[in-house]
Structure 1
Amino acid sequence: MEEWLLNDSKWTWRFVCLISIAATLIFIVGFGYAVKDIVYPQGDAPLTSLPQKTGAPDEEVTGILKVVAIGDSLAKGTGDNTGSGFVKRAVEGMSEGDQEVNLLGNLGINGLTTLGLQSELNEEGVKYTLRQANTILVSIGGNDLFRGAGIVQSNRNTSPPSSDEPPAPTDELTSKELLAALPEASKRLEEALRKIAEINPEARIYFLGLYNPFGDIPELRVPGNQAVTAWNNAAMDIINTHNNMTLVPTFDLFHNHLGKYLSTDHFHPNGDGYQRIADRIIQAVQ
Structure 2
Amino acid sequence: MKYNHFVRFIMFISLLCFLLLSYGFVKGAYSVLNPQKSKLIVNNNTQKNNQNDIVHKNNKLKIVALGDSLTRGVGDDEGTGYVGRLKTILQKEYKQPTTITNLAVSGAKTSNLLNDLKKKNIQETIGSADIIVLSIGSNDLFPGANQLNEEFLKTYRPDEKTFKNNLQSIFKLIRQKNPTASIYAFGYYNPFHNVQGLDASSSFVSRWNNLLELSVLQTNNAYVIPTFDLFFNEEKKYLYTDHFHPNKDGYIEMANRLTSKIGSQLRGESNE
Give the TM-score normalised by the residue count of structure 1. 0.70
**Match of 1:62, SS?**
coil
Tell me: CA distance 1:176–1:86, structure 2 relative to 1, closer, same or farther (3 Å): farther
CA deviations over 1:45-95 (Å, ceiling 9, x no partner): xxxxxxx78xx8634462742111000000111111111111111111122
2:108 pairs with 1:112: yes
1: distance between equivalents of 2:202 and 2:194? 11
Conservation of the 8 A alpha-carbon contact between 1:94 and 1:101: yes
1:237 corresponds to 2:214: yes
Q: Is the 8 A contact 1:173 1:219 kept in 2?
A: no
Q: RMSD of the TM alignment (CA)?
A: 2.0
- For 2:155 and 2:252, the matched residues in 1 are separated by 33
Shift of 1:285: 1.0
Unaligned runs of 5+ in 2: 1-38, 45-54, 264-272
Q: 1:217 to 1:136 in 2, by over 3 A?
A: same
Tell me, yes or no, if the aligned pair for 1:175 and 1:227 is still in contact at 8 Å: no
CA distance in 2 between counterparts of 1:172 and 1:188 reads 28
Please state whether the residue corresponding to 1:128 is helix, strand or coil. helix
- Corresponding pairs, count: 214
Which residues in structure 2 correspond to 1:64-103 (within 5 Å)? 64-103=60-99
Alignment map for 1:60-209 (pairs within 5 Å): 60=55, 62=58, 64-147=60-143, 150-151=144-145, 169-170=148-149, 172-174=151-153, 177=156, 179-209=157-187
Find the aligned partners of 1:100 and 1:86 in 2 and give their Cα distance.
Answer: 17
Query: In the alignment, what sits opposite 2:266?
Result: none
Q: Which residue of 1 aligns with 2:204?
A: 227
Give the % identical residues.
Answer: 35
| 1:63 to 1:245, Cα distance in 2 relative to 1, 3 A | farther
Bigger Rg, which one: 1
Distance, in Å, in 2 between the alignment partners of 1:116 and 1:134 is 23
SS at match of 1:219: coil
CA distance in 2, matches of 1:110, 1:270: 15
Shift of residue 261, structure 1, vs aligned partner: 0.6
The AA in structure 2 aligned to 1:237 is: L
Q: TM-score, normalised by structure 2?
A: 0.73
1:126 and 1:211, CA in 2 relative to 1: closer, same or farther beyond 3 A? same
Could you say which residue in structure 2 is the equivalent of 1:285? 262
Quote the Cα distance in structure 2 between the aligned partners of 1:152 and 1:199: 38
Give 3-state SS (helix, strand or coil) of 2:198's partner: helix
Alpha carbons 1:69, 1:105 under 8 Å: kept:
yes
Tell me the amino acid that sits aligned with residue 183 of structure 2.
I
Please say if residues 65 and 101 of structure 2, whose CA atoms lie closer than 8 Å, have aligned partners that are also in contact. yes
1:182 deviates by 2.0
Letter in 2 for 1:92: T
The C-alpha deviation readout for 1:156-195, integer Å capped at 9, x for no partner, is: xxxxxxxxxxxxx456232651x42222112111111111
